[in-house]
Structure 1
Amino acid sequence: MIDSAIFRAYDIRGVVETALTAETVRRIGCAFGSEMQRQGLERACVGRDGRTTGPMLRDALVDGLLSTGVDVIDIGMVPTPTLYFATHHFETGTGIMITGSHNPPEYNGLKMMMAGGALYGDQIQTLYQRIVADDFAQGEGQLQITDVLAAYHSRIVSDIKLDRPLKVAVDCGNGVTGVVAESLLRDLGCEVTMLFDDVDGQFPNHHPDPSKPENLNDITKAVLDNGLDLGLAFDGDGDRVGVIDNQGQVIWPDRQMILLSEDVLSRNPGAPIIFDVKCSRLLAEAIENAGGQPVMWKTGHSLVKKHLADLKAPLAGEMSGHIFFKERWYGFDDALYVAARLLEIFSKRSESVAEIFAAIPNSINTPELNIHFAEGEHHAFMAEFSKLAWDGAEVSNIDGVRADFVDGFGLVRASNTTPSLVIRFEADTAAGLARIQDQFRAAMLNVAPDLELPF
């Protein structure tokens, strides 16, 4: 029996040996290859991150794919964006990355793309249905083992030009960016101080998730102790980056997006820039002020990636740290490339990174808050919560309920990856934040009086 819970909204993920076994992954390979055959696709790229279970799952996945008659290009241990790059470089449009992203060490998973688009939702369920029905194509595919890191590296270096060298600390968190980050940044012209760049799937130093402030202590100390220009902290598989300025302040992704948007819009006036419902309303204002069209969209890297392609937007970003460049790049989320683009902007300015961001408006906001539910009950809560009326607010229902007031916003949405609610607040003042939280507290308790709220 295969555990259906591992087939999630944007990917496949589970604890290895219990939910995600080698046999399960082999059968996923069979299903994926069969779906490729149905669509007339002949070749898939396969990569893996630095988790200890990666080689075993790679063998199982490749075995399954080859058994359906599709050819496999194995690019070895690489960051997730390098796998995305390989699908362009080898013109397959199709690939699978074996990665547990920022989950604990016992997890692993698969991020998949086919015919140029990320697999999500019903497409992932289609694979599950094929496995249940044992509906697999038969054949004998060919395996090619090749390196693509050098091509990826040189593609970024040929695109990015720094006007002056920057002093940068880099924390790879023992994730897979350790295979490329140092050489890439040195070749761009940076002076680099490396932390935890040996790939170790047990993550012995700290968890490789830069969206959590407690994981940024080491990089902050390195920047301050050495008087560096900035710090970069990558997640486990290299599709998100945390940024620390020269004063040790965290530059959260929605503020990174303000700077990136202004830069992109200077060359692409009037273009749409996409961001998810968790982002600051100051981002929308900044996009408008820079002559762009702000487009708020649902959270989820696969959903944002598709919307970017649909709207032909040059840039999109999520509060979680997934940032997607179509201008000069391929439209996938790539933390190494995003870091390089930020460095390029910083190098053209005489001010320090802290001074650059001090000139960008800021707000008072909460981190992402979560309330955990029994499986499915968070959707039942949202069905009721979304019926409520909000006085004095502009309400968006594209993903949960986001109420924008004159001086701030509140958001409650159902997570697509765990049975929980995701909550966030922002305001111009502490008093405004308290008022918006009071309004949301009353509304949420109106729907579920026993709810324990984290605010």
Structure 2
Amino acid sequence: MRDLKQLVKAYDVRGVVPDQWDENLSRAFGAAFVQVTGASAIVVGHDMRPSSPSLSRAFADGAAGYGADVVLIGLCSTDQLYYASGSLDLPGAMFTASHNPAEYNGIKLCRAGAAPVGQDTGLSEIRELVESWTADDDTVTVPARDVAPGALSEQDTLRGYADHLLGLVDLTAIRPLKVAVDAGNGMGGHTVPTVFDGLPIDLVPMYFELDGTFPNHEANPLDPKNLVDLQAKVREVGADLGLAFDGDADRCFVVDERGEPVSPSAITALVAAREIARARAAGEAEPTIIHNLITSWTVPEVVQELGGKPVRTRVGHSFIKQEMAVTDAVFGGEHSAHYYFRDFWRADTGMLA
């Protein structure tokens, strides 16, 4: 029998397809998600992995079978799914295995308003429910519910997502920039052109073709070897900076004009400085900034110097979002290049806003 405790992690579902999970199990996760959250409607999106369309559709069918209407937004980045959850005020499911190899897939779940779903906020209940429906031979039988099935519909959220991101910053003072972007054949190739459209940016695209087999390199910018192509391109074209995204484009690594990687802790401190200034100008006396346990001590030092309040938290997006909600933090950053904005439903976004 499949060990769902290995498949269901602390704050997402992730494993090898079809060895650890498949469409039948995904359908059960959809039904369980609706039962645990009590949702009458949800939104579902997926990345470019070969298994993502069928897994996400099976999940949607399971959710609809338990009475929930399902809004399908198709190909999207993880933060685009969070945008849809926030703007539509619906629980959401994103099918992606982030930076993992092609044979993996997974689900990131959230409640309405992009509120995180982790082990302590519903994910363990979902796992236990699916386990109760799974037989020793790994067949999954989802009990029928005496409800009218939900309706499936499609909606394009990319333009709305881009407009929301652009609305978070003052673009009047932006100067022309040459920016090299390595999407790693992941969802950055889908979102970056629309987000950058109309800005004074000379975009130098790298590996924008959506391909979940990752033919050029792993979409994991945390590994230095996956930044080599971007570093070379920045030096070759004289770019002002380079950006590298992971597979679902909710992490963004920065390379400076010399082709040298910039620590995510340094980026956290820089963005925190801007967010503190904005919040103080709006009347907040001591804006809170979240950083995780393994970011540089530079981050809390900068935050304190600028009149903010630094708060440390555990590693992991669900823990950081939860702490941001408790403290009403304006911004949060991780060593892994996840960045969180209060004005983006406290959800992680690779787009540095």
| TM-score (structure 1 length as normaliser) | 0.71
1:98 matched to 2:95? The reply is: yes
Is the CA contact 1:2–1:24 (under 8 Å) kept in the aligned structure 2? no
Asked if structure 1 preserves the Cα contact closer than 8 Å seen for 2:158 and 2:194, the reply is: no
User: Residue 186 of structure 1 contacts residue 192 of structure 1 at CA under 8 Å; is this kept in 2?
Assistant: no
**CA offsets, 1:336-364, max 9 Å, x none?**
2x1xx3xxxxxxxxxxxxxxxxxxxxxxx
The alpha-carbon distance between structure 1 residues 2 and 70, as it changes in their structure 2 partners (threshold 3 A), is farther
Match runs of 1:34-433 below 5 Å: 34-37=35-38, 41-92=39-90, 94-116=91-113, 117-122=115-120, 123-134=122-133, 138=145, 139=147, 140-160=149-169, 161=171, 162-269=173-280, 270-326=286-342, 328-336=343-351, 338=352, 341=353
2:197 is paired with a residue whose SS is helix
* Cα deviation, residue 137, structure 1: 6.5
Deviation of 1:36 (Å): 2.8
Alpha-carbon distance in 1 for matches of 2:131, 2:184:
38
Contact 1:66 1:143 in 2 (8 A): yes
SS in 1 for 2:153: strand
1:164 is displaced (CA, Å) by 1.2
Q: Shift in Å at residue 133 of structure 1?
A: 2.6
Query: How far apart are residue 170 of structure 1 and its match?
Result: 0.5
Cα-to-partner distance string for 1:100-156 (whole Å, 9 max, x where unaligned): 100110000000012442111142111111123337562311111111111112222
Identity %: 35
Q: Counterpart amino acid of 1:163? A: I
Shift of 1:298: 0.7
Other structure's SS at 1:180 match = helix
The TM-score normalised by the length of structure 2 is 0.91
| Distance change >3 Å, CA 259–CA 3, structure 1 → 2 | same
Q: CA deviation at 1:329?
A: 2.9
1:375 match:
none
Q: Is the 8 A contact 1:51 1:200 kept in 2?
A: yes
1:65-109: per-residue Cα shift (whole Å, max 9, x none)? 1110011000001000000000122121x0000001001100000
Q: Is the 8 A contact 2:79 2:349 kept in 1?
A: yes
CA RMSD of aligned residues (A): 1.4
Q: Give the conservation status (yes or no) of the 8 Å contact 2:89–2:112.
A: no
Q: Is the 8 A contact 1:26 1:64 kept in 2?
A: yes
Matched letter for residue 288 of structure 1: Q
Cα shift at 1:228: 0.9
Deviation at 1:242, TM superposition (A): 0.6
SS at match of 1:72: strand
Structure 1, residues 387-413: CA drift from partner, whole Å, max 9, x if none? xxxxxxxxxxxxxxxxxxxxxxxxxxx
Which one-letter code corresponds to 2:27 in the other structure?
R
1:8 correspondence with 2:2 = no
CA offset at residue 331 of structure 1? Answer: 1.3
Give the structure with higher Rg (CA).
1
Structure 1: gaps (5+ residues): 342-455
Q: Output the amino acid matched with 1:60.
A: A
Contact 1:69/1:137 (8 A) holds in 2: no
Which has the larger displacement, 152-161 or 229-238?
A: 152-161
> Which residue identity lines up with residue 62 of structure 1 in the other structure?
A
Residue 34 of structure 1 contacts residue 137 of structure 1 at CA under 8 Å; is this kept in 2? no
Say if 1:319 and 1:137 are closer, same or farther in 2 by CA, change over 3 A: farther
Q: What SS does the corresponding residue of 1:47 show, helix, strand or coil?
A: strand
Higher relative contact order, structure no. (Cα contacts within 8 Å, ≥ 6 residues apart): 2
User: Which 10-residue stretch deviates more, 254-263 or 182-191?
Assistant: 182-191
| Aligned residues between the structures | 333
The one-letter code matched in structure 2 to 1:179 is H
> Any unmatched runs of 5+ in structure 2?
134-141, 281-285
Measure, in 2, the Cα distance between the counterparts of 1:91 and 1:179.
Answer: 23
Contact conserved, 2:85 with 2:112, CA < 8 A, in 1? Answer: no
